[in-house]
């Protein structure tokens, strides 16, 4: 768990540093940082998709995942509920930034594979690398959206901690077999891309409504493993 603790601490530190520098930024420069985060989200989303798509054994799985997950999320109105809850406390801008930050921090190869390697092999290399990236990213996010971005830290801790615990308890589970991580990274890449479009106000995809899409590959591999396919 040390890797996850370090990663969480880096987000806290980055947020504090970014909040400090935000005070000296004018509206013009804040907008520049805002756009930078949108462009970075799009670039990282595309990168995750392109890198993992060739490794996929089930190229249509991400399409089914987005379709099924989107229907479930829309029925539950996940995006609307979360946005309204955050907006009441920090405004619409904070809601957009926090959602985008959580996707960047949590839905990436390092943040998914890292806890697994940490739990199974005691190797925290991926998590330390992710910590460095998140330190920089959280600083930039905080200069744009403010101190409220620190809420992403406990979310990351719970996310990576849950993956670490599952890996510890189910090291031989079908969930850790095959290309599950690749499939999650593909779906996650699309979600990060969608959040970038929202930040840049190009298209509000209501990204959180698609979060259940991440469960579809997990269920697919679980069923596949249980049936011995």
Rg (CA), the chain: 17
Nearest to 102 by CA among 146, 143, 149: 149
How much of the chain, in percent, has pLDDT values that exceed 70? Answer: 89
pLDDT in tens, 162-216: 888 887 876 655 555 557 778 888 888 888 888 888 878 898 888 888 889 988 9
Residue appearing with tokens 């399409």: 63
Q: How many CA atoms lie within 13 A of 7 on its CB side?
A: 32
- CA atoms of 111 and 115, how far apart (whole Å): 7
Every domain of the chain and the residues it spans: 2-227
Task: Tell me 211's DSSP state.
Answer: G
Residues 166, 160: Cα–Cα separation, whole Å:
10
Coil vs helix vs strand at 91:
coil
Could you report the per-residue pLDDT of 93-103, keeping only the tens digit for each? Answer: 777 788 888 88
Which run of H or of E encompasses 104? helix 92-106
Q: Which residue has the tokens 């670039």?
A: 43
* d(C-alpha 8, C-alpha 132), whole Å: 11
Mean pLDDT of 44-56: 86
Three-state DSSP at 179 gives: coil
Closest CA to 115 of 152, 169, 69: 169
pLDDT digits (tens, 9 = 90+) for 120-161: 778 888 788 788 878 888 888 888 888 888 999 999 999 899
Give the mean model confidence (pLDDT) for residues 19-34.
74
Helix (H, G, I), strand (E, B) or coil at 68: helix
């Amino acid at each position: 768990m040390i890797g996850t603790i370090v990663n969480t601490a880096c987000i806290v530190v980055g947020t504090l540093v970014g909040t400090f520098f935000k005070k000296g930024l004018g509206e013009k420069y804040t907008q520049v940082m805002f756009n930078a985060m949108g462009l970075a989200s799009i670039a990282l989303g595309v990168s995750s998709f392109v890198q993992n798509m060739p490794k996929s054994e089930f190229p249509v799985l991400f399409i089914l995942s987005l379709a099924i997950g989107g229907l479930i999320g829309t029925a539950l109105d996940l995006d609307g509920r979360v946005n309204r809850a955050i907006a009441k406390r920090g405004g619409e801008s904070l809601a957009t930034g926090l959602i985008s930050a959580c996707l960047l921090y949590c839905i990436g190869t390092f943040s998914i594979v890292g806890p697994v390697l940490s739990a199974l092999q005691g190797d925290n290399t991926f998590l330390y690398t992710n910590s460095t990236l998140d330190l920089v990213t959280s600083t930039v996010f905080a200069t744009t959206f403010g101190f409220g971005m620190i809420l992403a830290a406990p979310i990351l801790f719970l996310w990576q901690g849950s993956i670490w615990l599952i890996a510890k308890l189910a090291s031989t589970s079908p969930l850790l077999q095959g290309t599950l991580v690749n499939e999650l990274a593909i779906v996650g890449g699309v979600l990060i891309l969608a959040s970038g479009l929202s930040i840049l106000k190009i298209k509000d995809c209501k990204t959180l409504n698609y979060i259940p899409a991440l469960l579809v590959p997990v269920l697919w591999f679980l069923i596949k493993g249980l049936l011995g396919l």
